[in-house]
Amino acid sequence: MTANPTVTRRNFLLGAALCATMLSGCNQGDGGQAAAEDQPAAAPAAGGNVLVAYYSAQGHTAAVAQTIADELGADLFKVTPTEPYSDDDLDWTDDSSRVTREHEDESLRDVELTQVTPDGWENYDTVLVGYPIWWGIAAWPIDNFISGNDWDGKTVLPFCTSSSSSLGRSGELLAEAAGSGEWQEGQRFSSNVGESGGREGIAGLGLA
Ligand SMILES: Cc1cc2nc3c(=O)[nH]c(=O)nc-3n(C[C@H](O)[C@H](O)[C@H](O)COP(=O)(O)O)c2cc1C
């Protein structure tokens, strides 16, 4: 299953809602900034069947996820490793740290989660999946959340936070691992987007 560029009316409305509610400037990717007045005057609210699921090691993705969920009135699900990553674990400059070892040996990336399937999973038809970028791909603690759930019939909008890397192929790779679902292109946020969260573009959530 690859990222699906098809834009349904519902996805368009969801994206419009995200743009209109989250942004002071709505980034249209490399095409530049959309003026505020280009956004819908009254964006439709997303329904109760939207879930924002995320993994966050250091809080940046969590802040963005919280903002999106608040703005959409969506439910929130935190992907939590049974053994959380400490600051030392996350020290990618240390050759012997947990992340460095996992990065170098893919077999070590099978991260056990406290809960794989969110309550009421079958009731969600749109799921936003958030994660940090680690070495250019989605941080692997999200992997067992992706592979452990049935995405059939769900529209999926990936988003990431990173210092500088783009979303890259991270969403596509997750779509492949999921094996089903209508995966949209997704959107990247800068790590330092701040607590008020999402003051930069999210227009790329599969709507282009
Ligand atoms: C192990 C590790 C690897 C990272 N690799 C990248 C990278 O390849 N590109 C990048 O732009 N940022 C990278 N970062 C920075 C994170 O993507 C960024 O700080 C992100 O916002 C963290 O999200 P979080 O606070 O939700 O965990 C890395 C951070 C860590 C801890």
What's the length of the chain?
A: 208
Ligand 1 within 6 A of 153 CB?
no
What is the reported pLDDT for 114? 98
Closest among 197, 201, 204, 173 to 63, alpha carbons compared: 197
> What is the 152 CA–ligand 1 centroid distance (Å)?
29
Tokens standing for residue 194:
């701040």
Using the 8-state DSSP alphabet, how is residue 20 labeled? H
Tokens standing for residue 14:
């969801």
> What is the 9 CA–ligand 1 centroid distance (Å)?
33
What is the reported pLDDT for 120? 97
What is the reported pLDDT for 44? 34
What is the distance between the alpha carbons of residues 152 and 135, in angstroms, rounded to a whole number?
A: 29
What is the distance between the alpha carbons of residues 188 and 204, in angstroms, rounded to a whole number?
A: 8
Is beta strand 50-54 parallel, antiparallel or unpaired with respect to 126-134? parallel
**What does each of the 208 residues of the chain score in pLDDT, given as a tens digit?**
444 434 444 454 455 445 434 443 333 333 222 222 223 323 334 445 999 999 999 999 999 999 999 988 999 999 999 999 999 999 999 999 999 999 999 999 999 999 999 999 999 999 999 999 999 999 999 999 999 999 999 999 999 999 999 999 999 999 999 999 999 999 999 998 865 655 454 444 443 2
Is beta strand 126-134 parallel, antiparallel or unpaired with respect to 137-138? antiparallel
> What is the 68 CA–ligand 1 centroid distance (Å)?
20
Yes or no: say if 183 and 156 are a contact pair by the CB < 8 Å rule.
yes
What is the reported pLDDT for 192? 86
Q: Please report how many Cα atoms fall inside a 13 Å half-sphere around the Cα of residue 140, on the Cβ side.
A: 17
Residue in the block written with tokens 């959409």:
72
| 157: helix, strand or coil | strand
What is the reported pLDDT for 48? 52
Mutating to test ligand 1, I would choose from 133, 164, 187 the residue with most ligand atoms within 8 A of its C-beta, which is 133
